[in-house]
Amino acid sequence: MFKRNEPQPFSEEEAKAYLEKDEITIFIQMSEGNGEAAAWGCDLTYDYVKINASYRT
């Protein structure tokens, strides 16, 4: 957690609970004009894909 390039105090327990949700929202303020973007991610590791690619359903 940063504000104006400085670390901010935060509760690790609250952050952990938030990050365990199925979906999370991350806010980033760049203060450099107007803009908007969307990004998606996943935790499919190389090994997960390799294991599950070896068979068909």
Q: Which residues contact 10 (CB under 8 A, 6 or more apart)?
A: 1
What is the structure's pLDDT at 42? 76
Evaluate if residue 16 carries a pLDDT over 80. yes
Cβ–Cβ under 8 Å, residues 8 and 2: yes
Task: Judge if pTM exceeds 0.85.
Answer: no
H helices present in the chain, as ranges: 12-19, 46-52
Closest CA to 23 of 9, 41, 10, 5: 41
- What six digits make up the tokens of 33? 């004009």
What is the structure's pLDDT at 5? 81
Evaluate if residue 50 carries a pLDDT over 70. yes
What is the structure's pLDDT at 11? 93
Give dist(CA 46, CA 6) in Å, integer. Answer: 35
